[in-house]
Amino acid sequence: MRRALDLAAVAADAGEVPVGAVVTLGDEIIAEARNAMRGNLDPTAHAEMVAIRHAAMRLGRPRLDGCTLWVTLEPCAMCAAAIALARFEALRFGAEDPKGGGVVHGARIFSQPTCHHRPDVLGGIGEDEAAGQLKAFFEARRT
């Protein structure tokens, strides 16, 4: 999670919402990304989506069985659906997202009967730092 938090800080410095994501296979980082929606002019360039694409390319397969996704913020519904489709073994996230989350809030993608794969989910890892990054980012935008 430390690397994901560092990537979130890089995103904030670039004017992006501070979210970072890392894909691991065992103890090895195989992909990492930060939010890049503004810079890429791509509404789907969430940190999770970019990291998933990089991991699939690196492994040469569309399914990421055995991999863990570490992300600083609870994934939205789009990202949660991609996590299920990629067949991640586990999802670890920092701060919950009551407004835009799709895992423990909102759509609760993994709880839907149409969801064919449910990763092991654990939230709250690095939560204080992740939430602090988000709070500082949005407070700076309001002043």
For residue range 8-28, list pLDDT tens digits in order: 999 999 999 999 999 999 999
Query: How far is 108 from 33, CA to CA, in rounded Å?
Result: 23
Is it the case that residue 127 has pLDDT exceeding 90?
A: yes
Q: Is residue 88 helix, strand or coil?
A: coil
Q: Is the pLDDT of residue 142 over 90?
A: no
CA distance 46 to 63: 19
Would you place residue 143 in the very low, low, confident or very high pLDDT band (cuts 50, 70, 90)?
Answer: confident
Which positions are catalytic? 48
Extract the runs of DSSP E, i.e. beta strands, from 62-129. 67-73, 90-95, 120-122
Q: Is 46 annotated as a binding residue?
A: yes
pTM over 0.75: yes
The answer to whether 54 is annotated as binding is no
